[in-house]
Amino acid sequence: MTAPVIEVRDLQTRLVTRWGTIRAVDGVSFSVAEGETLGLVGESGSGKSMTCLSILRLAPRPAARILGGSVLLDGEELLTKSEREMQRIRGKKVAMILQDPMSSLNPVFSVGMQVREPLALHRGLSGRPLTERAIELLASVGIASAATRLGAFPHQLSGGMRQRVVGAMAIAAPPRLLIADEPTTSLDLTIQAQYLRLLKDLQMRHRLAMIFVTHNLGIVAKICDRVAVMYAGRIVEAGPVAAIFGAPAHPYTRLLLESVPRLGETTEWLTAIEGQPPDLAALPPGCAFAPRCPQAMDRCRADAPPEFVAGPAQTSRCWLQAPP
């Protein structure tokens, strides 16, 4: 095993609001090695995006506060760095692709200006070499007539092409870690498949470590090596994709998998998870999933489960996995 590119240990992020303190990220730990893809899955509000923003120290301020934990990038602690030091790391060592490319691209600047910016900032290019490298980047993400696209504005491109431009900007350095936060949500299925192939090709070419945030378990099965399932700000189960999909240890993971329709199977009703995710400002005692869990016991409602070993390289926060 190679040393991890990113290692997150007991990360804790709180949002201080008028309604109370929200445990947005509550003791999250994981690592990602070079060339490996970790999938972060879970319902909306489970803490996936906030975890990624906390790694980059971009959690919304002044409400968000990182209260504890450690984020090591190639052994270098990020949580103790100044804002100026983080500006040199973002984009150069860690890059992020957001769900909506229009939230990443400035509508009043041309594509060329925005692709050139990270190249000038992180690689010190200028003049003709800068333009040539920008064209190479656009061509590498599958944009035809890349030279002519430099003068286009974001609104003149399709959604798929805008997402490719954002991908080109993300690999400009190239980074050690690429965070993709639901980058295929706004794309149709054909373009989605093309974009996923593009991401894997870029990862193999540059040996990137990648964190892929998604609701789509089919995408996880296709491109991820390991998966971490989040609920109420915590990772409730983690392990290799084949192990999690073949034998989920946590009831929440099992219900997520059962709620996905399967080709060739006929059923009158899809499995649904009853109830709603908990209020993170007023979490119930014990396991946060207990009010919705069909297998909940009295112990679940009283004590929060620790992390148990559920299989080779597989862990679960569920009392069902407690040793006898």
* Per-residue pLDDT tens digits for 266-286: 767 777 888 888 888 888 899
Instruction: Supply the pLDDT for residue 205.
Output: 86
Residue 124: CB atoms within 10 A of its CB come to 9
How far apart are the C-alpha atoms of 166 and 138, rounded to whole Å?
A: 10
Domains of the chain, CATH where assigned: 4-93+173-262+275-321 (3.40.50.300)
Confidence of residue 69 (pLDDT cuts 50, 70, 90): very high
- 0.85 cut: is pTM over it? yes
Q: Where are the beta strands (DSSP E) in the chain?
A: 4-17, 20-33, 37-41, 64-73, 76-77, 94-97, 177-181, 209-213, 226-231, 234-240, 308-311, 314-316
For the segment 205-218, the average pLDDT, to the nearest whole number, is 90
* Cα pseudo-dihedral 234, 238, 241, 246, rounded to 10: -100
Instruction: Supply the pLDDT for residue 1.
Output: 53
Q: Cα-atom radius of gyration of the chain, to the nearest Å?
A: 21
Residues across the chain: 324
DSSP code of 90?
Answer: B
pLDDT in tens, 101-160: 777 899 999 999 999 999 998 888 889 999 999 999 898 888 888 999 999 999 999 888
